[in-house]
Chains A and B, each alone.
Chain A
Amino acid sequence: MTQMTMIAAIQNAHDLAMARDENVVVFGEDVGYFGGVFRCTAGLQQKYGSSRCFDAPISELGIVGAGIGMAAYGLKPVVEVQFADYMYPAYDQIVSEAARLRYRSGGEFTCPIVVRMPTGGGIWGGQTHSQSPEALFTHVAGLKTVIPSNPQDAKGLLLAAIADPDPVIFLEPKRLYNGPFDGHHDRPVRPWKTHPLGEVDPGYYEVPLGKAAVVRAGQELSIVTYGTMVHVAIAAAEETGIDAEVIDLRTLIPLDTETVMASVQKTGRCLVLHEATLTSGFGAELAAQIQAECFYHLEAPVLRVAGWDTPYPHAQEWAYFPGPDRVGRNMLKLMEA
């Protein structure tokens, strides 16, 4: 085992995938010589040459569109959109093209691309470095959407995403790159190098897509969440003393309904938590499925806690971010319901 930050784990996944399969190519804005603004592709150009890892013009449409063409040819492009907030120019290519090549060509053309993008807030990034657009992908038939919450998973999920025959949107919670941020912005974050989930197997392994993890076992209440909010949920459970079970979905589509439903049927109470805006968020999908599957087990309606339905503000970041206090309050409310 080697201690890695999430950045190092992601870099390592690229490295192993490129070493194993010469069809893996990596590109995006600043990813070549510099190794990415978050350094997730550091050293790859130096190691594999500039025709397998290179800088792209600032055109997200171009990056994803070119990636789709390469994927259709038979390569395995792993492309970076510098921030998820900048994926909108690529959205047509993702929705109308990547997601549908297989379907519309009867399986003749396929698109095994991975589109990586840092997601989420908590870094004083304002409205264009903080968004969580996962629901814009989960709403699209033909895409898989993955969001890791720690270095171990990030590496294994990225390797599984690269191996996957279909397009995968890989969202990296940037607030977790260096440590398991739990929403207590006024306290230092424990670095991954001292955290058990920062212990990463240096070899090749996959964490299967579509498998959730129970990251905290509990009896009284289930928190269904993913990404940064996994750590916020754990903190809120400890601080409220409520015996909550915390489920880290890891993959939103395909969704591990088995793990989710088993937990909610056991606890009878469910809080769905994400950082993205509330309305039409992925939490709405979760709540709908949970109430349909667990109706007779539920002691209270499923409760959603999410970002407010506003653009992500700068100065009011911590009033916006669903931190452990807000989550804890809602857990108490759910216990009383």
Chain B
Amino acid sequence: MNDMRLLERDVDAKDIKIAARKVQVYYADTHAIKDVDVDIEDKTVTAFIGPSGCGKSTFLRCLNRMNDTIDICRVEGDIRIDGEDIYDAKVDPVQLRAKVGMVFQKPNPFPKSIYDNIAYGPRIHGLARSKADLDDIVEKSLRRGAIWDEVKDRLHAPGTGLSGGQQQRLCIARAVATEPEVLLMDEPCSALDPIATSQVEELIDELRQEFSVVIVTHSMQQAARVSQKTAFFHLGNLVEYGETGQIFTTPQDPRTESYITGRIG
């Protein structure tokens, strides 16, 4: 798998990874996402911004079919990852989620040890050949989650005993451990201090070498710092999507402009 990715990078670093067309999401009768078309590039950080309740998390959850777990939620339209329709009956959502990892808005470590939290995904998917291999994966993931130094002496302490920010980095490390191709991050830094935030941002930048990263954020600065592409959502519509620099300097839509300058909140 890794070899294939390397090959891909050699051919074209900016393939379209995810292509969404005419996506509609309904929660019972609420129309939460309306007609969203978007192309998310491989090896790119794409930021979703927009006021609270505009549907950023909802759209993000469509990309790994997490919305399937909500009874009242209905998704229509066409979402393709690497050209394959992920809502096709043939696609196993479980397999899909292994490929499209997710970090949630609220940290949700399992009530297990730190080690077991990270090892959870690799164990399920049989990624480790031996105990030593698993140890390696755990260490590597924790390092990438910028939390190794803080927990290396207490890998067998419960993950729920960490601070909120540490838990969030643990969840990032946990998501990274399964080696996804796409990483969806829903406000990963909302519980973090500036130092941890910049560590996570570094991590995101690093992950971009291998993955496609989609990040939801409420911080304009963060979107500007980490992303190459930015999508602005408003009331369930994708208002504007383009190069981050262009969105922040010369927005085309008046709504985007007023949101960025702080007039819609």
- Do A and B bind? no
- Residues of chain A touching chain B, judged by Cβ–Cβ distance below 8 Å, are none
B residues adjacent to A (C-beta < 8 A): none
